[in-house]
């Protein structure tokens, strides 16, 4: 479903000597960026004017960090996203969102204005400045894969090309700083973008595939463990082709959830150490050949280090590493390796699939019964269809969402590695800017909701229609699970009344299963605006996944 951007040039339409601002906009269009998020400020106002006059739609947000989350969500669906903010007060505000995009490999272009080159000569104390004029750039160098300051007309076009190509190649954020007196400066020469091609070392690729084939041929219990990079690099189809050709069962990590349809006959469930279903955990951990494709070995994906995987029995391939058992290979593109796997001429043992999870009985509301976390997720699971995207925030809503059945690729978004609270509401905005035909089901705890909920103002402004489900347990329940204390308590808002403040949207207060059922029916029928369900849960009620983790950890204490 994701559109994967490429640097194919359409720059024939660019005038011979474009301005730096015009060239940047044209190259963003070349890479497929149709929308950009942000908040204007005086150091970037002139470029905002250029954006408004371009084919790129500008989506103004309520906060810069929200614009970053929205661009991240947009990038995960569309293939590349962008933010445009002012100097320091805007740029430094977006750092956390960009750090999350870097950690989870989401290609976001950060464009920021800055004081003009001429303004800096006498080293004045201009507003927004922190320490040195270079401070903001130095901060972003740590959380982007490439960065540049367009302060030289001779090199500006080449720098734009270099940085944007790095964004798409590595699927990570990049930083472009545009001094305000350089926006209208014309490039002094005609520039044609050069499309560089990175290739695998043929001999290394051949040997790696040969060794992988030998391990698979010997295996009696193979399994594929698919991760998020299959999303990011557009390799889901190749992954499925490989699995189907050899009939190898597939599991996925939490960060990679929805890499394939969870209705696929070879899919066995999400693997996350002790947090996943016991049958899935045993099936993966008892494998004698685990083909880990695009998988990040994070503590969350590995069930808070409860995973028991024998690395000597793994084929581990990401964009950064290729390792077969204890042998390391270099200069091999993950796309070439994954495509090569399906061309192997080997016979691989057919492994019986584990028993399917027992079908959940159709949800029948017990009208006066208080809603529990398990029953809430059971009801949500029933309403999902192919036109919905689940956007889960951090906390127990994320762990509970692991058990939801996602129908096809890129229908599940979450910050499941960086785990920054507040991601879901603005990310849902990004999803619908990218694909208005997809309806987000937003799962967010009350603590995370309080951080970024006012981005529903932008959702309302653009007539989007997410269904937002606030798991209201009066505080930070996941942290209570680790160590309880008054620091985990927060003020209980009337979340369902937020539409009154914003002047639009529908709000529902939910305490019982009957109210839950009625509210969701009403929300599904209302396609014109957002709906917000304030679902009251007991402060110590946790999802089945978190309960499984607790039971497993208690056995090791």
Is 340 annotated as a binding-site member? Answer: no
**How many DSSP H helices and E strands does the chain contain?**
20, 19
Residue 38 Ramachandran class (φ > 0 left, ψ -120 to 50 alpha, else beta) = left
- Cβ-count burial of 185 within 10 angstroms (0-12 exposed, 13-18 middle, 19+ buried)? middle
Token pair recorded at residue 34: 């149709």
Is 446 annotated as a binding-site member? Answer: yes
The Cα 68–Cα 38 span in angstroms is 8
Token pair recorded at residue 127: 């507003």
* Burial 403-442, CB ≥16 within 10 A → b, else e: bbebbebbbbbbbbbbbbbbbbbbbbbbbbbbbeebbbbb
Is 475 annotated as a binding-site member? Answer: yes
With tokens 């056995």, the residue in question is: 555
With tokens 């320490």, the residue in question is: 131
- Cβ-count burial of 287 within 10 angstroms (0-12 exposed, 13-18 middle, 19+ buried)? buried
With tokens 């995973």, the residue in question is: 307
Q: Report CA-CA distances (Å) from 168 to 5, 255, 336.
A: 7, 20, 17
| Positive or negative: CA dihedral 252, 256, 257, 263 | negative
- Cβ-count burial of 455 within 10 angstroms (0-12 exposed, 13-18 middle, 19+ buried)? buried
292 backbone dihedrals φ, ψ, rounded to 5°: -95, 110
| Concatenated DSSP letters of 20-48 | HHHHHHHHHHHTT--EEEE---TTTHHHH
The Cα 467–Cα 451 span in angstroms is 18
Residue numbers in the known binding site for Mg(2+) are 446, 473, 475
Positions at the binding site: 446, 473, 475
């Amino acid at each position: 479903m994701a559109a994967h951007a490429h640097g194919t040039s359409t720059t024939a339409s660019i005038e011979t000597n474009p301005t730096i601002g015009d060239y940047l906009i044209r190259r963003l269009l070349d890479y497929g960026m149709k929308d950009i998020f942000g908040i204007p400020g005086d150091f970037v106002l002139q470029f905002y004017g250029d954006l408004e006059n371009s084919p790129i739609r500008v989506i103004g947000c309520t906060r810069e960090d929200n614009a970053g989350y929205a661009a991240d969500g947009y990038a995960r669906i569309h293939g590349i996203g962008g933010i445009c903010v002012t100097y320091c007060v805007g740029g430094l505000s977006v750092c956390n969102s960009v750090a999350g995009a870097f950690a989870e490999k989401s290609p976001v272009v950060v464009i920021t204005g800055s004081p003009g080159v001429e303004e800096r000569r006498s080293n004045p104390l201009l507003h927004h400045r922190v320490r040195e004029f270079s401070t903001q750039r130095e901060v972003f160098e740590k959380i982007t894969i490439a960065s540049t300051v367009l302060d030289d007309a001779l090199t500006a076009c080449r720098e734009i090309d270099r940085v944007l190509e790095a964004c798409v190649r590595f699927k990570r954020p990049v930083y472009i700083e545009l001094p305000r007196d350089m926006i209208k400066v014309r490039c002094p020469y005609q520039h044609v973008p050069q499309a560089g091609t990175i290739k695998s070392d043929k001999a290394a690729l051949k040997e790696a595939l040969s060794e992988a084939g030998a391990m698979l041929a010997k295996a009696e219990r193979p399994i594929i463990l698919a991760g998020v990079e299959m999303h990011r690099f557009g390799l889901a189809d190749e992954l499925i082709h490989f699995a189907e050709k050899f009939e190898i069962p597939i599991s996925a990590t939490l960060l990679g959830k929805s890499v394939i349809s969870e209705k696929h006959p070879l899919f066995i469930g999400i693997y996350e150490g002790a947090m996943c279903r016991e049958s899935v955990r045993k099936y993966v951990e008892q494998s004698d050949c685990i083909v880990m494709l695009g998988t990040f070995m994070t503590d969350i994906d590995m069930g808070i280090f409860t995973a028991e995987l024998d690395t000597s029995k793994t084929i581990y391939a990401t964009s950064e590493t290729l390792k077969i058992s204890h042998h390391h290979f270099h200069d091999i593109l993950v796309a070439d390796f994954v495509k090569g796997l399906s061309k192997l001429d080997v016979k691989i043992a057919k492994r019986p699939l584990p028993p399917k999870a027992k079908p959940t009985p159709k949800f029948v509301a017990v009208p006066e019964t208080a809603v529990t976390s398990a029953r809430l997720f059971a009801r949500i699971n029933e309403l999902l269809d192919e036109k919905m995207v689940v956007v889960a925030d951090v906390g127990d809503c994320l762990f509970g969402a692991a058990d939801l059945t996602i129908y096809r690729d890129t229908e599940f978004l979450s910050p499941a590695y960086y785990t920054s609270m507040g991601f879901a509401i603005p990310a849902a905005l990004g999803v619908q800017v990218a694909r208005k035909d997809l309806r987000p089901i937003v799962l967010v705890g009350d603590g995370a909701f309080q951080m970024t909920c006012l981005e529903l103002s932008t959702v309302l402004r653009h007539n989007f229609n997410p269904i937002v489900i606030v798991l209201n347990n009066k505080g930070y329940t996941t942290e209570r699970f680790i160590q309880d204390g008054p620091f985990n308590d927060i003020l209980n808002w009337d979340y369902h009344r937020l539409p009154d403040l914003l002047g639009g949207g529908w709000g529902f207060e939910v305490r019982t299963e009957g109210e839950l059922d009625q509210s969701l029916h009403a929300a599904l029928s209302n396609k014109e605006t957002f709906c917000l369900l304030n679902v009251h849960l007991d402060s110590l009620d946790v999802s089945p996944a978190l309960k499984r983790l607790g039971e497993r950890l208690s056995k090791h204490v």
